């Protein structure tokens, strides 16, 4: 009998066998199956190389890792309070990197995702604050190309972080739409900014009509900010087209 999956008892890894082509044909797309197998292998590898005894392995986040991550993140908060945005951004970036490396695959994913979402939001806000500190005041003056490129690179990285937050389950969060709209406006992508602001306003409306809002005043304030950015984007488009 043909076997689709082969197990190596030495490495404790599994892989697809060549028999899969005989059963399903050579043109079959096995991408999803290969991703699942790779994830199983990564989890197995994490369990095998764990320093804990097998009976003590739980989904609870490792306390030592949590302390280290929180300590690094606290440095970011302290730097932010002193308005040292560059240091604050450096420390939150290190805390995210530490979290991604220190957390084991068998630790509860939901907790890891919430932790990552929180730190990524903080990183985005710090990036925008640092951009405003370094470049916003100079937007109306002639700047050297290197400064402009540095500022644009910062905004593009910020946009990548926002896209990552969307992939982490915050696709329908109007707070993300607000930040994306802000970034698009700073990049001069006014059509994208208008579309994102419109999308954010639609999400706000859904939240208010569903009445699943803990703080309606905060959502209304968010709505006002999105409306202002929408109007700004609309005016910028008209001006760009020579209609204003």
158-217 tens-digit pLDDT: 999 999 999 999 999 999 999 999 999 999 999 999 999 999 999 999 888 877 777 888
The DSSP H or E segment spanning 6 is: strand 5-8
- Are residues 123 and 189 both part of a single domain? no
Hey, what are 150's tokens? 């540095």
pLDDT by residue for the chain (244 residues), tens only, comes to 456 778 888 887 888 777 666 655 566 676 778 888 888 888 777 767 665 555 566 667 778 888 999 999 999 999 999 999 999 999 999 999 998 887 776 677 777 889 999 999 999 999 999 999 888 765 533 333 344 788 899 999 999 999 999 999 999 999 999 999 999 999 999 999 999 999 999 999 988 887 777 788 888 899 999 999 999 999 999 999 888 7
Report in angstroms the alpha-carbon separations of 29 from 19, 32, 34, 66, 214. Answer: 14, 8, 10, 40, 45
Total domains, the chain = 3
User: Of 115, 132, 167, which closes a domain?
Assistant: 167
- Are residues 106 and 176 both part of a single domain? no
C-alpha 113: how far from chain center: 10
- Are residues 153 and 210 both part of a single domain? no
Record the pTM. 0.75
- Give phi and psi for 8, each to the nearest 5: -100, 110
- For the beta carbon of residue 159, count every other beta carbon within 10 angstroms: 20
- Are residues 176 and 140 both part of a single domain? no
- Are residues 12 and 26 both part of a single domain? yes
On the 0-12 / 13-18 / 19+ scale of CB atoms within 10 A, 48 is exposed
Report in angstroms the alpha-carbon separations of 27 from 15, 18, 23, 143. Answer: 18, 13, 11, 54
- Are residues 133 and 213 both part of a single domain? no
In a domain, 87, yes or no: yes
- Are residues 18 and 84 both part of a single domain? no
- Give phi and psi for 189, each to the nearest 5: -90, 75
Q: Is the dihedral of CA 221, 223, 224, 225 positive or negative?
A: positive
Instruction: For residue 14, give its domain range.
Output: 5-49
The DSSP H or E segment spanning 129 is: helix 109-134
In a domain, 30, yes or no: yes
Model pLDDT, residue 164: 94
What residues contact residue 146 under an 8 Å CB cut-off, 6+ apart? none
110-127 CB burial, b ≥16 within 10 A, e <16:
eebeebbbebbbbbbbbb
The DSSP H or E segment spanning 229 is: helix 216-240
In a domain, 35, yes or no: yes
In a domain, 54, yes or no: no
The DSSP H or E segment spanning 7 is: strand 5-8
- Are residues 45 and 82 both part of a single domain? no
């Amino acid at each position: 009998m043909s076997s689709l999956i082969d197990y190596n008892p030495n490495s404790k890894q599994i892989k697809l066998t060549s028999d899969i082509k005989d059963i399903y044909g050579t043109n079959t797309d096995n991408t999803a199956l290969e991703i699942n197998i790779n994830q199983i292998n990564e989890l197995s590898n994490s369990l095998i190389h764990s320093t804990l005894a097998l009976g003590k392995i739980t989904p609870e986040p490792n306390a030592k890792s949590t302390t280290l991550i929180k300590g690094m993140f606290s440095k970011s908060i302290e730097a932010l309070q002193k308005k040292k945005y560059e240091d604050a951004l450096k420390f939150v970036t290190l805390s995210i990197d530490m979290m991604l490396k220190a957390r084991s695959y068998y630790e509860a994913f939901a907790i890891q995702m919430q932790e990552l979402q929180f730190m990524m939001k903080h990183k985005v806000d710090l990036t925008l604050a640092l951009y405003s500190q370094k470049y916003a005041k100079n937007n109306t003056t002639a700047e050297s190309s290197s400064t402009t490129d540095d500022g644009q690179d910062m905004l593009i990285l910020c946009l990548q972080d926002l896209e990552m937050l969307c992939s982490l389950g915050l696709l329908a969060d109007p707070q993300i739409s607000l930040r994306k709209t802000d970034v698009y406006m700073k990049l001069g992508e006014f059509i994208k900014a208008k579309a994102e602001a419109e999308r954010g306003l639609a999400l706000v409306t859904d939240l208010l009509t569903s009445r699943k809002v803990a703080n309606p005043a905060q959502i209304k304030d968010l709505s006002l900010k999105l409306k202002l950015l929408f109007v700004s984007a609309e005016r910028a488009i008209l001006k760009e087209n020579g209609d204003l």
